[in-house]
Structure formats: C-alpha cells, structure tokens
Amino acid sequence: MIRLIGRRIFFALLTLLLVSLIVFISVEALPGDMATAYLGRDATPESLAVLREEFGLNAPAYQRYFSWLGGIVQGDFGDSLVRDKPVSEIIGNRLRNTMVLAITASLVGIPLAIFLGVFTALTRDRWPDIVVSTISIFGMTLPEFVTGTILVYVFAIRLKWFQGVATMPSDAPIDAEFFNIIALPVATLTLVMVAHILRLVRTSMIDVMISDYVQMARLKGVPARQIVFRHALPNAMLPTINIVALTIAWLLGGVIIIEQVFNFPGIGNLMINGISDRDLALVQAIAIILAAFYVGINLLADLMSLVLNPRLRTARGH
C-alpha cells in the first residue's frame, strides 16, 4: 500500500516538473522577452540591455529555468515587471477569491449531484427522473458563459435579486456581501458540476441496485433505506470518485470563463489580464498554480480509490 502511494506521489511530482518545463518553454517561444514587453517598442537597445542584465534575462535558458523552478519550490514566483510587484503578492487575494468560489460551488454542487443521482436512479424512467435528467442534459450542453448570461438576465436584470457584475476589490473581506456577490457565479458553476456528476451517479446507482447482492438483501427483508445508503450508495460512489475529482479540477479552469463573465476579481481574471499585458512572470505562476491544483486533486482521488477499494490495491500490486 505504501509503495503504491509513493509511486503515485512520484508520478504526480514528475507531472508537475514536466508541466513547469512546458510552461517555461512556451513562454520562451513567444516573440520578444519580458524586457521588450515592459519597455515597449520604442525602447532603446541600451535600456533593453540594462533591464535584461538587471533581471538576469541574458543568462542561458536552462539557468533561468532552474532559477525560476528553485524559486517556485521556495514559494517565490519572481517579480512582475508590468505591475512592479512580487508575483506572490499580486496573486494572493485573487487566489483566495477563486478558492472561495470553487470551494463554495463544490460544497453545494457535490452533495446536490449525489442526492439527485440517487433520486433519479430510484425513480428510474418515471417523471422525476425524466425531468431531472432532461435539465441535466441542458446543463451539460450549454457553455458556461451562456448559462451565466441567462442567470444574470433572470436573477440580476429581471428579478434584481443578485448583482450581475462583481464590483468589489480583490481584497474585499469574506462576509455576507461577498457571498451575495458570488451567488450567481457559484450557481453557474454548480449547475454545470451537478449536470456531469449526477449522470454518472445515476448510472452507477442503477447498476448497483440491480446487482445480485442487492437483490439478495431485498429477498432477506433488509429495509429499503438500509439497502440504499449502507450497501448500494458506497459501492456506487467508487466509480465516481475520479469523475468528481476531474469536475473539481475543471472548476479551476472553468472559473477563468466565469470570472470574465461576472468580472470577478479572481485568479482566472488576473490570468487573462496578464496575457493581455504580456506579464509573462505572472502568467507562468498562475499556470503552475492551476496545474498543481489539478494534479493534486487527481492524486487525492486516486489515493482515495486505493484506500476504499481493496480490489484495486490488489490489482495494482500485481
């Protein structure tokens, strides 16, 4: 077991190392460099040379890569030339806002998706199942920005229940007003998340409910509630763990679109602005942070599968 966990952690770290190399090479392949982006087209060769010397841009690429990677390991993402601040200082509050947005959507969406998945499985082919499944299909097919625009029109413009566009600063305190502002972004992310997860939970639950051991439990007179929650649901959740993890990881990418739609001061919005401003150090840092969350969440899901499913441990052990 320990060997399997160690192997998974090793491959996760290797993946992050490869991602860091790809990010660095991609930024290096862009025309110009940070000095050119900072000083603009009218920069003189002398000023470019001074700035490149000051920030070590004249060093070979491999030296700059290992220097950048070493800084990341120590929590130092370098400095933003465009904003004249340390990147970690720029990202701090933005990352907090995005994490609050993603965590809130997960805390609402995952339990709701599991409940609806079980509910539709138990009412298979009846009108509750048909209604919920139809709505979930629309949730899966509509792009996030379309869903967000519809929610803004209905709940912000027509009903005036929530704000349609976030007007708060990035360092706004997390209070009741904060959650009122993120209500529509959270609702958008939740709808998409629920649509994907409940379909898989429904399918897994149906497969488990028609299995032999569940049928045997029914013949023995085991109460229906005990069959569903003690026997069927834990087994139905095993195949969905990785999908739930992938969906949560998708949130970190999906928030980039959502934050643009709602003008939310999160890390996704900051990344778009960094690309527009050619703030390469900032873009590199955000890409690595998003990749680390993605790999970490999938690693956690894989480890949970190993712990909860002894057959998987045995199969991988061989």
pLDDT (tens digit per residue) in 72-127: 888 788 777 777 788 888 888 888 888 888 888 889 988 998 889 888 888 888 88
Mind giving me the DSSP string for 164-182? SS----TT---SHHHHHHT
Instruction: Say what percent of the chain tops pLDDT 70.
Output: 88
Rounded Cα distance, 14 and 20, in Å? 10
pTM of the full structure: 0.77
Rounded Cα distance, 125 and 246, in Å? 28
Question: Buried b / exposed e across 183-206, counting CB within 10 Å, b at 16+?
Answer: bbbbbbbbbbbbbbbbbbbbbbbb
| Distance of alpha carbon 18 from the chain centroid | 19
Rounded Cα distance, 246 and 301, in Å? 9
Q: What is the pLDDT of residue 36?
A: 65
Question: Buried b / exposed e across 279-293, counting CB within 10 Å, b at 16+?
Answer: bbbbbbbbbbbbbbb
Q: Tokens representing 190?
A: 């939740």
Q: Using 50, 70 and 90 to split pLDDT, how confident is the model at 139?
A: confident
pLDDT: is 15 or 304 the higher one? 15
Rounded Cα distance, 18 and 3, in Å? 23
Total Cβ atoms within 10 A of residue 50 = 13
* Rounded (to 5) percent helix, strand, coil in the chain: 80, 0, 20
Cβ atoms of 4 and 317 within 8 Å: the answer is: yes
Between helix 280-308 and helix 61-73 the angle, nearest 10°, is 60
Query: What homologous superfamily is domain 93-317 in, according to CATH?
Result: MetI-like (1.10.3720.10)
Total Cβ atoms within 10 A of residue 101 = 24
Cβ atoms of 171 and 266 within 8 Å: the answer is: no
86 backbone dihedrals φ, ψ, rounded to 5° = -65, 140
Average pLDDT over residues 4-10: 79
pLDDT: is 238 or 127 the higher one? 127
Q: What is the mean pLDDT of the chain?
A: 79
Rounded Cα distance, 231 and 118, in Å? 13
End-to-end CA distance of the chain: 12
- Name the residue ranges covered by the structural domains of the chain: 15-87, 93-317
| Burial degree of 112 (CB within 10 A; 0-12, 13-18, 19+) | middle
Give CA torsion, residues 113, 115, 118, 120, to 10 deg.
-70
Indicate whether 317 pLDDT > 50.
no
Rounded Cα distance, 189 and 73, in Å? 31
Q: What is the pLDDT of residue 218?
A: 79
Sign of the dihedral defined by the CA atoms of residues 56, 62, 68, 74, in that order: negative
- The model's pLDDT over 8-64, given as tens digits with 9 standing for 90+, comes to 788 888 888 898 888 888 777 766 666 666 666 666 777 767 767 766 667 777 887
